[in-house]
Structure 1
Amino acid sequence: MSYSEKEALKKLPETSSWPKFSLTGEYDSIELIDYIYGPFIDVPSIPDYWITARLNTAFRGHASIWYTEMREIHGRRTRPWWKRQIIQKYRNSTWIWQKIMSFENDRYSVNKDPYEWCLRQSKRLKGIDP
């Protein structure tokens, strides 16, 4: 490993700080995709396979089993490929329909925190059309 590769490797965040994808959170898939495409990871000196090789640390439970099976079948793949697979598997038509209904039925009221309400609606929109 060259000196420049070692320096680039230091720029990668610790895997313990990566968001966990366990299928329990409503927006787990969105958060993980945003993270692996985040601005601090998009450093040209960091090869794509360094990031995708660490994806296994982000998956938990059934999502981990799915990831392991996909990796065994398809081998090493790029971030865009993993993004497509996550979207195909976990953002199906039922999930999208639920987000649309949640978006349409959630009305702002004076009792709610406006920031939280806007953030929730923003996540729903992003989930519907990333």
Structure 2
Amino acid sequence: MSFENDKYSVEKDPYEWCLRQSKILKAITPQMNLQMRNHKILTQIPGELKHAVKCRCNQNFTLDHIANILQDVRKRTNIGKHNPYKSSGFKEKQPFRLQFKDKPRERVEEVAKKVIIVTTVAQQTTMPKTVQRQRKKSMILRKAQRRNSQQRIVTQTLLEMSSENNLMKRKTQEKDS
């Protein structure tokens, strides 16, 4: 198997493929340095996989880096995988139909009648101003009552705590004397 014909695919084990490619290059051109060899191996990776590896590599990458990145891309992404569920034939396109041409247009008078009906119904459902004011006043009163009751509870608990503290002080004073 020659170096040029052995392109990487997702089905191949990345560690074995990288090692095999490195050995082939070493046998063909022993004078080639390691960095040039790694770049040459990178050229054997097709399209999107090559881009994914280049994006994840730093400038001084080794054969281990390439294999690890290929393994990572293979596990975590769908790059290079073929979808077995894709249809083999092309779909017949349906002719484009404009939706609004099929619908009959309403006349301006009918639309105006609908608007008038909606506004009169909305006006009937609104409350008179006096009722709105009364509701607002009662809501404000309820909020004030809640605040007052909460303040009473806080003051009662503070008084209870202070009385308990006073009792404790008296008991300690009685024990001391």
Is the shorter-chain TM-score for this pair beyond 0.5, marking a shared fold?
A: no
- Give the TM-score, by structure 1 length: 0.41
Question: TM-score, normalized by length of structure 2?
Answer: 0.32
* Higher relative contact order (Cα pairs below 8 Å, separated by 6+ residues): 1
Which of the two has higher C-alpha Rg?
A: 2
